[in-house]
Amino acid sequence: MSSPFSPLLIAGPCSAESREQVLATAAGLAEMDIAYFRAGIWKPRTQPGAFEGVGRTGLPWLSEVKERHGLKVCTEVANAQHVEDALKAGIDMLWIGARTTTNPFQVQDIADSLAGVDVPVAIKNPTHPDLALWLGAFERLEGAGIKDLMAIHRGFAVHGQKKFRNAPLWQIPIDFRNRLPHIPLINDPSHICGNRALLAGVSQMAMDLAFDGLMVETHPDPDAAWTDAAQQLTPEAFRAMCNGLVMRKAGDAAGVDDLTALRTEINMIDDALIELFARRMGISEKIGQYKKANGLTILQNKRWSDLLKRNVEQGAAQGVDPGFMAEIYKSIHQASIAIQRGIMHRDGHSAE
């Protein structure tokens, strides 16, 4: 990556599965200029019975990565005991996961356990789009005296999201950077995408927005991974992806001129609008199925009139032309009607 800007790279498997798997991944990454080798030892899972990590058994494997390959290592911690075990094992950097960031009590416990300790800590955004909660986690760590902090943007759980595993909602990390410009901002495209085919595009977007680096999950045999198989890359594929990234000059507004920065912001907003339109049309389809099952007409005129009035007024309150808002929502309404008519006609029923 010959460019004036070299991003900070963090890479390694989603989960440490075995000594052999960890060392094989590290060997594949050893020649790259990565800042930290990552591996999950403790894995918070949605349901009990899923693989929750090898626990402290995996810590010696990370120590061996350091000894064999000279790589700094990092892992996720979710409580004070994890912190104690990781520090005893000489882990170089800790990160707080999205589910933990969501719980201020847990974050405070971790902050208290780190008081007086000189160790870098990265904090992932909370699972849901709450900038204040993310900022609050940094306040707690800074209050404990931790000075070497990083932020990791891994996307947000948004109902109805289809393209990405977690919606990137790029404006939130941009707002974070404006609030805490001294904190390095790292993008985690693996958890945003949930699909390795999308990683390069999201990584490039992060570089265009002047993110300071990437955290990418890598595995010697991704399809056989015990966790998050679909989003992991081989070390070779990760290297190829990084070599294909276009790097901008470091600086404000993504290191490019004001017009390009504004156009980039327009692109982000358009991406968000498309995601929202897709979600809205999906709900319209469910409404159409309900109306069909219950013998209701497609057009509910009072509901439509109230909705149009409400949205035009809300737009006007924010400086959006009422005529423009009315035309937009009439088009959306017509698209919804078309979807519902299609549902009515599937089994030969008329929408008239």
Report residue 258's pLDDT band, with 50, 70 and 90 as the boundaries: low
Determine the pLDDT at residue 4: 41
**Closest alpha carbon to 14 in 193, 221, 227:** 227
Q: What is the average per-residue pLDDT within 171-188?
A: 94
> For 87-128, what is the HEC assignment?
HHCCCCEEEECHHHHCCHHHHHHHHHHCCCCCCCEEEECCCC
Report residue 260's pLDDT band, with 50, 70 and 90 as the boundaries: low
Q: What percent of the chain has pLDDT over 90?
A: 73
Task: Measure the CA–CA gap between 252 and 206, rounded to whole angstroms.
Answer: 14
Measure Cα distances from 166 to 46, 128, 215, 256 in Å.
15, 9, 15, 27
Two tokens, residue 63: 């120590």
Q: What is the average per-residue pLDDT within 194-214?
A: 93
Q: What percent of the chain has pLDDT over 70?
A: 92
10 Å CB burial of residue 253 (0-12, 13-18, 19+) is middle
Task: Measure the CA–CA gap between 57 and 126, rounded to whole angstroms.
Answer: 28
Q: What are the tens digits of pLDDT across the range 108-130? A: 999 999 999 999 999 999 999 99
Q: What is the average per-residue pLDDT within 237-266?
A: 72
Determine the pLDDT at residue 250: 55
Report residue 233's pLDDT band, with 50, 70 and 90 as the boundaries: very high
Report residue 308's pLDDT band, with 50, 70 and 90 as the boundaries: very high
Determine the pLDDT at residue 252: 46
Determine the pLDDT at residue 275: 80
Task: Measure the CA–CA gap between 16 and 53, rounded to whole angstroms.
Answer: 7
Determine the pLDDT at residue 273: 86
| End-to-end C-alpha distance for the chain, whole angstroms | 61
Task: Measure the CA–CA gap between 44 and 77, rounded to whole angstroms.
Answer: 10
| Residue 318 DSSP one-character state | T
Report residue 298's pLDDT band, with 50, 70 and 90 as the boundaries: confident
154 near 192, Cβ under 8 Å? yes
Two tokens, residue 1: 């990556």
Task: Measure the CA–CA gap between 333 and 114, rounded to whole angstroms.
Answer: 54
Task: Measure the CA–CA gap between 220 and 28, rounded to whole angstroms.
Answer: 8
Is residue 350's pLDDT more than 50? no
The whole model's pTM is what?
A: 0.76
Strands, E assignment, the chain: 8-12, 36-38, 73-77, 93-96, 121-124, 149-153, 185-187, 213-217
145 near 118, Cβ under 8 Å? no
Is residue 71's pLDDT more than 60? yes
10 Å CB burial of residue 86 (0-12, 13-18, 19+) is buried
Domains of the chain: 8-255 (3.20.20.70), 258-345 (1.20.59.10)
Q: What is the average per-residue pLDDT within 156-171?
A: 84
Determine the pLDDT at residue 201: 93
Q: What is the average per-residue pLDDT within 14-26?
A: 97
39 near 13, Cβ under 8 Å? yes
Task: Measure the CA–CA gap between 216 and 207, rounded to whole angstroms.
Answer: 14
Strand partners, 124: 152
Most confident among 64-68, 263-267, 314-318 (mean pLDDT) = 64-68
What is the overall mean pLDDT for the chain? 90
Helix (H, G, I), strand (E, B), or coil: what is residue 244? helix
Task: Measure the CA–CA gap between 85 and 234, rounded to whole angstroms.
Answer: 29
Report residue 45's pLDDT band, with 50, 70 and 90 as the boundaries: confident
